[in-house]
Structure 1
Amino acid sequence: MSLLDLELISKALPQTWTSTVLGRVGNSNIKVLRMDEMSSAPEVHDYTEGLLVISGQLLLGVVGESISVGEGQIYLAEAGVAHAVLSGSHGTLVIIDI
């Protein structure tokens, strides 16, 4: 087993919104990335995506609704449902591809 400092790993990444895979559990990837204030276009996946905020805040647009995900909270973006990052998101995010 390894001890990982998610904040340090995310801060060392060369770009915001570019994740790195930390490992796998079964068929699920566990990734970390650094968020910035920029928004993103909606995206849809064929798998559920768990979005776990380690620090800061993730702001999402999902089916016309604005959702705020705070530190220690996880949002499950269901497979087939479009979701977009809204401006103002910042901090460290862990993504679990389920």
Structure 2
Amino acid sequence: MSKTKLKDFADALPTFWKSSVLAQVGTSNIKVLKMNGQSYPAETHDYTEALVVLDGKMFLSVNGEPVEVAEGEMYLMRAEVPHAVEPGSHGTLMIIDPVMD
């Protein structure tokens, strides 16, 4: 068993908005990334993902509707739903999504 400080892991990442796989649990990836206030373009996935704000705040546009995810909150992004990250999103984000072969 191992212990990881998620914020320290994210702070060591060289690039904002580029997630890094911290671990795999079963058929899921645990990813962490840094948000720096910039927007991230709209995307869709063919899988559901969990977006967990570890610190800071994330502003999303989900199907064109604003969604705010605060520190300590999780947003479950359903498969095939268009979503974008809006400006002002900052802090540390953990993403849980399926391992892709």
Aligned length: 98
1:11 is matched with which residue?
A: 11
1:52-67 equivalences under 5 Å are 52-67=52-67
Task: Detail structure 1 runs of 4+ shifted over 4 Å in the superposition.
Answer: none
Give me the TM-score of the superposition, normalised by structure 1.
0.97
Percent of residue pairs identical: 53
Q: In proportion to residue count, which structure has more strand?
A: 2
Q: Which amino acid in the other structure matches residue 11 of structure 1?
A: D
1:20-78 CA deviation, whole Å, 9 max, x = no partner?
Answer: 10111111110000001111110101111100000000110001110000011000110
Q: Which amino acid in the other structure matches residue 50 of structure 1?
A: A
1:86 positional shift? 0.2
The runs of 5 or more residues in structure 1 that have no matched partner are none
SS of residue in 2 equivalent to 1:9: helix
CA distance in 2: counterparts of 1:13 and 1:44, whole angstroms: 24
CA distance in 2: counterparts of 1:23 and 1:8, whole angstroms: 15
Q: Which amino acid in the other structure matches residue 84 of structure 1?
A: A
The runs of 5 or more residues in structure 2 that have no matched partner are none
2:38 is matched with which residue?
A: 38
Please say if 1:51 is aligned against 2:35.
no
Q: Which amino acid in the other structure matches residue 36 of structure 2?
A: D
Q: Which amino acid in the other structure matches residue 89 of structure 1?
A: S
CA distance in 2: counterparts of 1:82 and 1:51, whole angstroms: 14
Give me the TM-score of the superposition, normalised by structure 2.
0.94
CA distance in 2: counterparts of 1:43 and 1:79, whole angstroms: 11
Please say if 1:84 is aligned against 2:79.
no
